[in-house]
Amino acid sequence: MATLGSTPDRLEVQLRGLPVGEGIRRQVDYWWTVYKRTWRGSIISSFVSPIFYVLAMGVLLGGFVEADPDQLEGATSYLAFIVPGLVAAHAMQTAVGETTYPVMGMIKWQRVYDSMLATPLAVRDVVAAHLVFVGFRLVATCAVFLAILAPFGVYATWWGPLLAFPAVVLTGMAFAVLVYGFTTRLYSEQGFGVLFRLVVFPLFLFSGAFFPVSNLGPVGELVAKVTPLWNGVNLARMFCVDNVDWTVAALNTVYLAVIVVVGWAWAVRGLQKRLVS
């Protein structure tokens, strides 16, 4: 569906975009206003619920789990094992939440993207600013989550959570670009139910957050290890429990970075086809 002027010059501007960074800068006021109006509504889902997860699964249930570092990937307690996985899974859920209904609304219901593209902003500028906002949300929620967990004594070193922090943010961004591209190609919000039930929830349960994926058997373990969430969980856990295999850590990081790059192109192309082409 084309929503722009029909002149070739106008279309060329939309495809070319503004200088790098300028398009994002011009949208800072808008996204800051959005954040100021909505941040209170995200307190429960962003900060309170994750802590309850930690208390229920890590502290209460973890008290019944024997702490064998050989079986818990180097963690000295089930609480120390589960915390990095929950933070990475929380990053995934935050990213998915910010790139499903909000993106659909800006395309289909409020049509905010249409108004943005009626200015010198191009599709890539609009996508970049939205994803930067998602990145800001990930940075804020993951930083608070990791900081609140420090008094629980789950970190083996002081530098562990500092390295785990960019790992979980990268994990969230990998999901953000993929789901953003999925949403731009979706014409009904009913598709989100499929996404949550068949992708997000199974990943949350079976990507190593709650138990080692080796318990899934050879085939299940292989499937789990090709998911972005397992790579994020594994990366964060190695740093937090001080059991780092730097070769594996590098592979996890490269894998997630490649997804972000490919997903970025997928997201831009999806919005361009939906609103411009």
Task: State the pLDDT at residue 277.
Answer: 66
Q: Mean pLDDT score of the chain, rounded to an integer?
A: 87
What SS3 state is found at 169?
helix
Is 221 domain-assigned?
A: yes
193 residue type, one letter: G
Task: State the pLDDT at residue 2.
Answer: 43
Is 74 domain-assigned?
A: yes
In angstroms, the CA 132 to CA 137 distance is 9
Is 199 domain-assigned?
A: yes
Task: State the pLDDT at residue 15.
Answer: 52
DSSP codes, 181-236: HHHHT-SSTTHHHHHIIIIIHHHHHHSSSSS-GGGGHHHHHHHHHTSHHHHHHHHH
Is 162 domain-assigned?
A: yes
- The predicted-structure confidence for 10-65, as pLDDT tens digits, reads as follows 455 455 566 768 888 889 898 999 888 887 777 776 777 777 877 877 777 767 67
- The predicted-structure confidence for 204-246, as pLDDT tens digits, reads as follows 999 988 888 988 999 999 999 999 999 999 999 999 999 999 9
Is 33 domain-assigned?
A: yes
Is 216 domain-assigned?
A: yes
- The predicted-structure confidence for 77-113, as pLDDT tens digits, reads as follows 888 888 899 999 999 999 999 999 999 999 999 899 9
Taking a C-beta distance cutoff of 8 angstroms, is the pair 257, 170 a contact? yes
Q: What total of structural domains would you count in the chain?
A: 1
Is 113 domain-assigned?
A: yes
In angstroms, the CA 182 to CA 99 distance is 9
Task: State the pLDDT at residue 12.
Answer: 52
Structure tokens at 207: 């990507």
Question: Percent of the chain having pLDDT more than 70?
Answer: 90
The domain in which residue 126 lies consists of: 8-275
Question: Percent of the chain having pLDDT more than 90?
Answer: 52
In angstroms, the CA 224 to CA 203 distance is 8
Taking a C-beta distance cutoff of 8 angstroms, is the pair 99, 179 a contact? yes
